[in-house]
Each structure stands twice: as C-alpha cells, then as structure tokens.
Structure 1
C-alpha cells in the first residue's frame, strides 16, 4: 500500500465476493478482508481480493494470528497490506515483519503464487516488490499500549491499529468510548506513532462511533463493516415501513 495518512477504509467479513466488489467500488481507499473472526477459507479470500481490486481499492488482509505459516499463505494471495492482531511487544512486531519478508530480511517461504502473478513476475517480486506489502499491527491490550513506542520503532512496521473493542475490554471499560482510561490509552498510542512517524488508525462500525473515535486524532480510519451496514440498513428500512403501516 501507499501512504496510510488521511485514508479511509472499510471492513468485510462476509464470504460472498460481491460484498468485496461493492466495497471496492464505493470510493474507499482500502478494504479489509478479515480472516481472524470469520469462516473465510483461502479460496474465498482470493476471490474477495479479486473483487475488491476490480472496484479499484487497495486490499488489506487481517490474519487470524501472528503466525508465519498463516501469514505466508495469505500473502501468497497478493494483498496490498497485512493486518496482524494482538501484537503486544517489539519482538512480536519483528516476528510479523519477518513473516512478511523474504530472506535475508525475513523468513517468508518463496513461491510463484498469485502475489508474483503466478510466476510471470517471480524474480522482481522476490527481489523487491514483496516489500510493497504494508505490515500493520494491532494494539489491543494494556501491554501493547505500554510497548507501543517500541513496537512503532520496529523497522518494517508501516502502521499501528488500535482495536477499540479488545482494548476497551482489556481495560475493563468495554465500549465506553469516552472513558478517561480508554482515551488515555489511545493518546499514548497516538504519541508513540507520532514519535516514530508511523500512522495510527482504528475502526468505527457505526456513524456515531466513527465520529467519536475519529475525532481523537487518528491518521486513518476503517469506517463501517459489511455486517453493520446490513443490520443498520435493515433497521432503517423496517422503521420506515413501520411509520407507514
């Protein structure tokens, strides 16, 4: 991915590639395809990436865990960026970067997969172009907040991402977006990113949450998710019908 600053993305977790196609064509800068909390298999992820790309947006894949095998298999599908959950330490951040980079910088296994245009761009991709895949790590715990400066300083980390649900739960203030302790934790992560020159983003699933979190000084936002769009849209339609029946 190119620069994350001042970009807006959206979140997809449903398995129909049409969802990714709709999101990719909706003027978002990027679309996250989630594999941490979804049943999506590799074949489905590949189709979702194709669908998002057809709409013109960049693609981010969230991996289930900071595991080199899972990361390797998803990166072979050719996303523009990688989102790694629950990164609490600089060591874990270095592990994520190593899993995303070929030797000698990392430990990613080499294959002529979709990311290398099925071998047609194999040597150039291995030599240089694999570095174009952004590595973004999620800060979602008290330990992660405490270590945010060290995490942001790791060479190869292109962005931090505050997971608001997990972080607020870890602090014992789940979904209390105006709680002082939660806001202080966000300020700490934002300061760490600013010091390292690394952009910091977050996710808001509803308009109110997007506005509340987005006003705190984040550099980029993930605005909404496919399932919340469905739920909220259905509610609005039902309310409208109830008004006239």
Structure 2
C-alpha cells in the first residue's frame, strides 16, 4: 500500500501545497496538477455534484503520481467516511466540526477495531487490489490517513482547543467563508473577528502539535497566512484558477 508523503511532511513541520476541486474532473486533471507541482488535490463533495463513482475514478488516476487524494465528504456521517477511504482517499476534511465528541466519532470511523469502527474490506481500491498481510494493511491505512477538522462556525472556534486535543485529529482547516456567515459578517473574511478566530485556531494547533490548513484565494493571502503558521495550503480552486487566468489574459489582450 502507498504511504502518504503529505502527512509525513506536515508532521515534520514542512509545507504542503495543492488546490481545491469543485467542478473539473477530467481524466487528465491529476496529471496536470502533479506536473504543476501540487502535493495534493482536495475534492469537495459538499458543494459540488461529485458522486462516489467520480471520486473513485479520480483516485485511480493518481496511482503512479506524486499526488495525494483528499476529499471533503458531503456530510459528517460514517457511510461517507468509510466508503471514501475504501475508494482510496488518503485524507478527509470534515465539515463544521464543533465539539470534541464529534471529533472522536469522526476519528473512530477512520480506525479499524479495536481502535474504532471502520468496516473491513481488503483487496480493493484503497489497497490497490493487492494481497498481503491484513494487520499490516490496517496499520498503513491508519498511519497514512489525514483527518482534518474544519473550524468554520462560532461554536467550532469556541471549542477548537478541545477539538485539537482529540487523538487522531491531525489538524485544523480554516473555513473562513462559512465562519463569516456564522459570525453574522458574511463575506468579511478580513474582519478582526475572523483574525481573532484564526489566532485561536493556530494557538490550539500549536499547543497540541497539530498542523493548520487553509484555502487561500490569492498568493498574497497565502503568504500572509503561512507567516502566521499555516503549513497546508490549497492555492485557490479550479473554477477560480480557470476564470481568473482566462480573464487576466483576455483583459490584457483587449487592453
């Protein structure tokens, strides 16, 4: 079974870069991302029309590439977590985590008994259809899986320290847009209240030895957040990259 170099790098305190995918799932997309230097691709199932079959295809396209598949499930349910892991996801970004209890449930879904409640299916997509020792496969699967708790609500911020204290939660992922809605300041992602929440999240990550992740819409924002302590950075997303790149070129040509 393949290991997860992104998780190992982040645990060493190094940076990892990728982008988020909401719309585009061509067979060539993973190779394009890898050629561009991305370490991971983060697929969003919560706000897109992606289904499990499409995710299985995307994960399979990554075999042989230095690209780690991570996904945000449609919701916080065992059925999504277990099936996405069985299809080959190496990381999960769980939406709107608001308590230590929720975090412990999520971790249990990613661990086989006796550590958790993940159901057993071997010789399939997640272990590359290969044979081998089951106990060793369980160890590798648990070791390589990234579990990110999204901090994107007022309650999540209030409980971020206890969430990051949960064993098996690897890091916190900022959800600045939903957080702005939760705080009653929609779209004001540069508000002092958002910055206070970011400080609280980063402090909790540092206190508990976890890493901090974000989706930065611009290079300038990404650099500023990295200076504050973020090490896992999704640079923009597929729709934004295509639309902004095309608009820049066309506007330049028209000018």
TM-score computed with the length of structure 2 as normaliser:
0.88
Instruction: Pick 1 or 2: higher relative contact order, CA cutoff 8 A, min separation 6.
Output: 2
What SS does structure 1 have at the residue aligned with 2:20?
Answer: strand
- Root mean square deviation, CA, Å: 1.8
Match of 1:34 among 41, 44, 47: 44
Match of 2:3 in 1: none
Match of 1:184 in 2: 196
Match of 2:174 among 162, 186, 211: 162
Pair 225,92 (structure 1): closer, same or farther in 2 beyond 3 Å = same
Match of 1:7 among 2, 16, 31: 16
State the 1:125 CA deviation.
5.0
**Structure 1: where are the runs of 5+ without partners?**
none
Residues 1:198 and 2:210 aligned together: yes
**C-alpha offsets along residues 168-188 of structure 1, whole Å, 9 cap, x if unaligned?**
221122332331111001101
CA contact (8 A) 1:116 1:122 kept: no
Pair 163,31 (structure 1): closer, same or farther in 2 beyond 3 Å = same
What SS does structure 2 have at the residue aligned with 1:65?
Answer: coil
TM alignment of 1:13-92, pairs within 5 A: 13=22, 14-92=24-102
CA contact (8 A) 2:20 2:237 kept: yes
**C-alpha offsets along residues 126-184 of structure 1, whole Å, 9 cap, x if unaligned?**
53112121111101101000110100010111111011111122112233233111100
How many equivalent pairs are there? 243
Pair 220,147 (structure 1): closer, same or farther in 2 beyond 3 Å = same
Match of 1:172 in 2: 184
Match of 2:154 in 1: 142
Match of 2:141 in 1: 130
Runs of 4+ in 1 over 6 A off after TM superposition: none
**C-alpha offsets along residues 102-132 of structure 1, whole Å, 9 cap, x if unaligned?**
1111111111221122252461455311212
